[in-house]
Amino acid sequence: MKVLLFHVNQDEIDYILECNQKFKFDLEMADFDFNFADSDRFTGFDAVWITTNCKVTKLKAEQLKKAGVRYIVSRAAGTDHMDLAAMRESSIKGANVPRYSPNAIAEHTLCLILMCLRKMKREFTMIMNYDFTLTGLKGRELRNMTVGVLGTGRIGTETIKLLSGFGCRILAYDLYENQSITNFATYSDLNEILSVSDILILHCPLTEENKRLINTDTITGMKDGAVLINTARGGLMDYDAVLNAIEIGKISAAAFDVYDAETSYIRKKADRDKFDSKTLKKLMENENVIYTAHMSFYTDTAIENMIKTTFENLEEYEKTGFCSNDITGNCETI
């Protein structure tokens, strides 16, 4: 099987090649942008290996079909970057990596919380300017707070378990309650969580129903001075509304690892002077905002699991025509 790989980082190549000693696929690292390439660039490949900033639209699925591509394997858990219906129409099978290291994202979430509470962005800036005073650095302690977690899947569960060690009160919201967390958190309704949480964490998948979940109206219902954390999906927040809330002090601090329109720049070295997202620039420049560039998952354990599972998905397809991590429902029809 000939596989075209996109957005492979330099420090991942050795492990990919090591893994492939077992699978023996014909691998090629792409040197062009998946989103803007025409079908000719994919000709001769059986499969493409993608990340979340590769957008599989209806047009792209048709291009891949024309090129003879049979499989799309995403090394991510989320699937909102893939038009699954279009893939089915083009008879392309697809798989994801449903779990690689929920703990990696949970630990990053906790890191962001503590950095916000202890005003670390301001402290780093002061130290860089040789200001060793305590001006504006009085923090808050997590153990004295109420934390609301929206989404109690694998990642939300890991975050709740980590938080439980700090002694804070934890409230949770999910359409489907997870009994494994009831020793650590109390389920409550969304409005209650918004109104009483000192820290609000987003760990839910992005759906049509919860798009822009954090907006002007929901922010109005939040506790004054709350801290907002998003390590889930950019589309869950209206960032203009968040920026306004930070500027007026309704939200005391925010940290996020995802942004709604990140595809155009993520995994690239952008030109500061030409960077056209005014809202994101203002957020990044605010001392009460911490932004990390979609890297909460990026640990040695997570990457090794991600790469290994992606190889296993390809092997399953090649050997049996089926895949246990299939997301298109094509396995029985092609």
- Distances 196 to 11, 228, 295 between C-alpha atoms, Å: 43, 13, 29
**The sheet that has 226-230: what strands, in order across it?**
186-187, 169-173, 146-150, 199-202, 226-230, 251-256, 289-291
DSSP, residue by residue, 108-159 = HHHHHHHHHHTTHHHHHHHHHTT--S-TT-----GGGSEEEEE--SHHHHHH
The answer to whether 81 is a known catalytic residue is no
End-to-end CA distance of the chain: 18
Q: Exactly one of 7, 75, 154, 294 is catalytic; which is it? A: 294
Judge whether 262 counts as a catalytic residue. Answer: yes
Q: Annotated catalytic residue: which of 262, 287, 304, 318?
A: 262
123 is an active site residue: no
How far apart, in whole angstroms, are the C-alpha atoms of residue 299 and residue 283? 26
Question: 118 — alpha (psi -120 to 50), left (phi > 0) or beta?
Answer: alpha
Q: Please pick, among 70, 108, 203, 233, the residue that the annotation labels catalytic.
A: 233
Contact 227, 251 (CB under 8 A): yes
Q: Would you state the torsion angle of the CA atoms of residues 228, 234, 235, 238, taken in this order, to the nearest 10 degrees?
A: 50
Listed residue (105, 59, 115, 284) closest to 205, CA to CA: 105
Cα-to-chain-centroid distance, residue 212: 15
Please list the active-site residues.
233, 262, 294
